[in-house]
Structure 1
Amino acid sequence: MKRTTFPTLLKCAVAALIAGSSLAASAAMTAQTDRLIVKYKDSNASSMSALAATGLSTGRQAIITRAGQEFGLNLKHVRTTALGAHVLKLDRAMNTGEVAKVAAELAARDPMVECAEPDRIMTRLTTPNDPLYTSQWDYFEAAGGMRLPLAWDKSTGAGVNVAVIDTGYRPHADLAGQILPGYDFIANTAFAADGDGRDSDAKDPGDSVIAGQCGVGIPAQDEPSSWHGTHVAGTIAAKTNNGVGVAGVAFGAKIVPARVLGKCGGYTSDIADAIVWASGGAVSGVPANANKARVLNLSLGSTGTCDLTTQNAINSARSRGAVVVVAAGNSNMDASTDSPANCKGVIAVAAVGRNGGKASYSNYGSVVDVAAPGGDTDAGIVSTLNAGTTTPGADSYGSYIGTSMATPHVAGVVALMLSKNPKLTPDEVEAKLKSTARRFPSPCAGCGAGIVDANAAVDAAMSSTKVTAAASSQ
């Protein structure tokens, strides 16, 4: 993991409209329009001139008037489009979901309607005003990025909790209001370095190490405290469009911090308990988690097979619907030798650099599911940090590289997906991430199905919602 610091700083579907009496709540969100588009079966582009000149027949205008009256509206013909559809103006602006109901009413009254739909108002794609966003190539660049701006117009992750099972967190201006109550699972007081063992304070006191602190012959840590969990949390859910710092992948989501890594790392037993607790399971001696997480981010690992303790914890979390996203490892070797990447039921994430090819350090192999931006020597991943060298200091921002950085990108995208379709199972989430991942633009052998495409993944989640809704209405 390398650290670079920054100073603080159209196809119209009438059937869907007819079936969708509750369409406003599920699809329209808060967008408004004062127009709708109607296409008749006997209209075509070749008759455009005549349509433009004559407008609508008296009979059709009468049907339109009656349909509008059902909603207390007056509908006026405005013009004919290039392909022969008619634009109708409402006498007031309405939620697009409500306009869809008007369109459905019109279609139900006139069998000659081929399609009727809101004339939606398009806007430019979401572009955050956070000053370091321009450095977040991992979100928007064509080669190594994840097409997040497109996804943000559909989902921000609202309503989803993501557990960051890591070093804890530091309070940070760019995470204000994003952190839910967490827990410190480090039982070993020497590792914990906060004066006690397990407690309800998940804040990170620092993990710098002096020579011999983690065992005889083990040297001092080469760099200051990592504030690793704070960096991961910022990638997932940093406040966005607040004119400060960076943007988060799922800035509408919330973070549940579970502190498991201290000065010398973290024990499997503590990590397993955190996995169970974060997903809503019971852990003896630990208060229940009031903010169950649907996504668990584990940017951690160790060489070896997947032990039964970890696998059982993962199975337990999955049984409660939690999606477990883990780092593939940073040893440039087969990830089958790294746990928990080699555990069953997880989404193992490799890292790509800015060119979209395998990062020099990233593990690879058959256990890897997908890849995401982790940065490389030419460009890292910018996120929230702390300026303290050993103990906490001021808020700051910094650039890290590693599969630890790739993993929260995927966890954030999962939050975007679940926000739109909370009924998705862990297996369905994984399948959709893989099926929508885009091809690697540069070599990335053993990096899974491709680079996670946030926009396509959210579309796939939303498509499942529509299919489910249509099935339930039949």
Structure 2
Amino acid sequence: MMRNAIRSILRLAAATSLVGALAAPLAAQATPERPKWVPGEVIVKFKEGVGPAQIQQFHSAYNLKTLRRYKLVAAEHLKLPKGWTVERALATLGNLGIIDSISPNYYRYIDAIPNDSQFDQLWGMHNTGQTGGTPDVDIDAPEAWDITTGDANVVVAVIDSGMQLDHPDLAGNLYVNPGEIPGNGIDDDGNGYVDDVHGWDFVANDNDPGPAGGGCGGHGTHTAGTIGAVGNDGLGVAGVNWNVQIMPLRAFKPILVIFCGGDDAALMASVEYHTMMGVRVSSNSWGGTGYNGAMEALIRASKSVFVAAAGNDGRNNDSTPQYPASYDVDGIIAVAANDHNGALASFSNYGASVDVSAPGVGILSTLPTDSWGAFDGTSMATPHVAGIAALLLSVDPNLTVNEMKWDILNGIDAGGLPVLTGGRANAYKALQNALTAPEVAASVTSLSGSTVSPGGSVTYSASVTNTGTVTRTTKVKLYARLADGTEVSLLGPATITLAPGETQSVTQTKTVPAGLAPQDVEVVAQAESDVSFDESTIVYTIVP
């Protein structure tokens, strides 16, 4: 996330006309406290098996209004009856037997410090010491670009404050919905959103995800540029991907003029939208300390690479979690920020629950009104890593979420940093991982049909093979993944030793639980050695 917006206004009031206009009155008054949540609203997740009749009875008994019903998980955004406080709702509704989790509709925040066309200033992409830093403390973008500069078929969702859609350095990589006819007022693709040609605004609930003003300060336009500013066009900057589609999903708005906040309901709707549209990578430069079980479940159900900012409080996330970065979801990559010398940025959060670091100090990128500027923050580090994930998909669109995460976290530059990997993200090394055949390969094959009814059975065979010339100790597991992202262990995890050329296999027959709802269920075989990671997947369709 980007750092304190007030300090940015006071220190660099001339950065934009809007900031300049705000600086004088703000300097003369005390800074207001940021609101923690939206008054009169909560988000609930129902327990498994709770039916529509029970939910309707719950609504009626407490005079609750449904503002949004989520599809990926059994959760609702609710308006409380008049006179109810959020605290009362948590105490009263949270004890009901049908409720799995309840939380306020928390605000998450993004904050900015502006720093000061111009690839030679992009030290995070290619560090020659041009900003006084240490040469080669970067993501090795030029080396990665010798392999790929991206693919226009890859889409990255940017859940943020919106972006300037016609920015000269971004317009060429703006997402276009192929199923929608612009401006006809019809929901052509039947996804529930009319004329969503370039994404969606979940604040105004319309099809214009343009940039928010006020305290949002061009945040979304800036993060989008790091992922996918058009490359090799003789203009401005280059993103990690020269070719990509950026899907702007606006969930943030000015709060009390000087802050930029997004509520959990809008953020969850954004995740659900990009999941529905088949987007497998998202950039999330925002967060807060409030836990929301429904949001965690929804991110898990998205089955996507969800790159999240570690936060800018200079604290250990292991002791004070920062959400969504700290949710226990396999697909989340939590990102800290480092400076041009490779040191952890003074403001960056850290800890074993933070996965990796990326450039986050003095990062030049796109800004509204056809401009460019530099910002600090884990907000700036996050899109570097989201951009790397997109590069991986450009060379292998069949990579699984776990494979992409492994490639990134095992393709770092060592730096002795206080994060899980100890190092900094490196695009070139991640790509090399993705392009190298796994030394220990996993395979799973169905020995029965691909459709099955509850109470029926499926049979499959799974194996792991050491394709190399060295004996490998390998962690293996076999699991089923339900539509909501929940994993059910079928075998392991276990550690085995494989001699060169050796294969170990197992055949299982499993009965489908009688109460399992119709859905697609994946069976996944996974093998992780010290030098490679591989997954193989088959899909069974559960029919009534």
TM over 0.5: yes
1:311 aligns with 2:307: no
Deviation at 1:177, TM superposition (A): 1.9
Q: Which amino acid aligns with 1:332?
A: G
- Shift of the 262–421 alpha-carbon distance from structure 1 to 2, 3 Å rule, reads same
1:422 aligns with 2:439: no
- Equivalents in 2 of 1:449, 1:268: separation in Å? 31
Match in the other structure for 1:200: 207
Match in the other structure for 2:435: 462
1:172 aligns with 2:167: yes
Q: Secondary structure at the residue paired with 1:137?
A: coil
- Of structures 1 and 2, the one scoring higher in RCO (CA 8 A, sep 6+) is 1
1:136 aligns with 2:122: yes
Match in the other structure for 1:408: 383
Q: Deviations over 1:32-91 (max 9, x none)?
A: xxxxxxxxxxxxxxxxxxxxxxxxxxxxxxxxxxxxxxxxxxxxxxxxxxxxxxxxxxxx
Q: Secondary structure at the residue paired with 2:425?
A: coil
Q: How does 1:426-465 map to 2 (within 5 A)?
A: 426-440=401-415, 444-446=417-419, 448-464=421-437
Equivalent residue for 2:239, pick from 233, 243, 248: 248
Deviation at 1:335, TM superposition (A): 2.0
Match in the other structure for 2:283: 297
Q: How does 1:62-461 map to 2 (within 5 A)?
A: 131-141=117-127, 142-158=135-151, 159-170=153-164, 171-180=166-175, 181-186=198-203, 197-208=204-215, 225-264=216-255, 265-280=261-276, 289=277, 292-305=278-291, 307-318=292-303, 322-336=304-318, 337-345=321-329, 346-375=332-361, 380-386=362-368, 394-440=369-415, 444-446=417-419, 448-461=421-434
Deviation at 1:149, TM superposition (A): 0.4
**Structure 1 unmatched ranges of 5 or more:** 8-130, 187-196, 209-224, 281-288, 387-393
Task: Assess if the C-alpha contact under 8 Å between 1:273 and 1:313 holds in 2.
Answer: no
- Shift of the 184–466 alpha-carbon distance from structure 1 to 2, 3 Å rule, reads farther
Task: Assess if the C-alpha contact under 8 Å between 1:165 and 1:257 holds in 2.
Answer: yes
Deviation at 1:447, TM superposition (A): 6.0
Task: Assess if the C-alpha contact under 8 Å between 1:358 and 1:447 holds in 2.
Answer: no
Q: Which amino acid aligns with 2:409?
A: K
- Equivalents in 1 of 2:335, 2:311: separation in Å? 8
Q: Secondary structure at the residue paired with 1:276?
A: helix
* Greater radius of gyration (CA): 1
Q: Secondary structure at the residue paired with 2:243?
A: coil
Deviation at 1:445, TM superposition (A): 2.1
- Equivalents in 1 of 2:438, 2:391: separation in Å? 14
- Equivalents in 1 of 2:270, 2:315: separation in Å? 28
Task: Assess if the C-alpha contact under 8 Å between 2:212 and 2:254 holds in 1.
Answer: no
Q: Secondary structure at the residue paired with 1:198?
A: coil
Deviation at 1:140, TM superposition (A): 1.3
Q: Deviations over 1:143-166 (max 9, x none)?
A: 431111010111122021000000
Name the structure with the higher strand share. 2
**Structure 2 unmatched ranges of 5 or more:** 17-116, 128-134, 176-197, 256-260, 444-464, 466-500, 502-544
Match in the other structure for 1:109: none
Deviation at 1:228, TM superposition (A): 0.4
- Shift of the 433–273 alpha-carbon distance from structure 1 to 2, 3 Å rule, reads same
Q: Which amino acid aligns with 2:325?
A: A
Q: CA RMSD in A?
A: 2.5
- Equivalents in 2 of 1:274, 1:247: separation in Å? 26
Aligned length: 297
Deviation at 1:432, TM superposition (A): 1.5
TM (norm. structure 2) is 0.52
- Equivalents in 2 of 1:238, 1:373: separation in Å? 16
Q: Secondary structure at the residue paired with 1:263?
A: strand
TM (norm. structure 1) is 0.59
Task: Assess if the C-alpha contact under 8 Å between 2:353 and 2:420 holds in 1.
Answer: no
Name the structure with the higher helix share. 1
- Equivalents in 1 of 2:391, 2:306: separation in Å? 15
Q: Deviations over 1:316-351 (max 9, x none)?
A: 111xxx211000000000124210011122100000
- Shift of the 313–136 alpha-carbon distance from structure 1 to 2, 3 Å rule, reads same
- Equivalents in 1 of 2:148, 2:388: separation in Å? 10
Q: Secondary structure at the residue paired with 1:324?
A: strand
Deviation at 1:468, TM superposition (A): 7.7
Q: Secondary structure at the residue paired with 1:279?
A: helix
Q: Deviations over 1:344-401 (max 9, x none)?
A: 22100000000001000000011111110001xxxx0000002xxxxxxx31100000
Deviation at 1:414, TM superposition (A): 0.6
- Shift of the 202–465 alpha-carbon distance from structure 1 to 2, 3 Å rule, reads farther
Q: How does 1:12-23 map to 2 (within 5 A)?
A: none
Task: Assess if the C-alpha contact under 8 Å between 1:163 and 1:295 holds in 2.
Answer: yes
- Equivalents in 2 of 1:426, 1:200: separation in Å? 29
Deviation at 1:423, TM superposition (A): 1.6
Deviation at 1:407, TM superposition (A): 0.2
Q: Deviations over 1:186-224 (max 9, x none)?
A: 2xxxxxxxxxx311111124134xxxxxxxxxxxxxxxx
Task: Assess if the C-alpha contact under 8 Å between 2:356 and 2:423 holds in 1.
Answer: yes
Task: Assess if the C-alpha contact under 8 Å between 1:160 and 1:254 holds in 2.
Answer: yes
- Equivalents in 2 of 1:162, 1:449: separation in Å? 26
Task: Assess if the C-alpha contact under 8 Å between 1:350 and 1:447 holds in 2.
Answer: no
Q: Secondary structure at the residue paired with 1:204?
A: coil
Match in the other structure for 2:486: none
Deviation at 1:465, TM superposition (A): 8.2
Task: Assess if the C-alpha contact under 8 Å between 1:143 and 1:355 holds in 2.
Answer: no
Match in the other structure for 1:87: none
Task: Assess if the C-alpha contact under 8 Å between 2:356 and 2:419 holds in 1.
Answer: no
Q: Which amino acid aligns with 2:337?
A: A
- Equivalents in 2 of 1:6, 1:240: separation in Å? 25
Deviation at 1:253, TM superposition (A): 1.1
Task: Assess if the C-alpha contact under 8 Å between 1:139 and 1:147 holds in 2.
Answer: yes
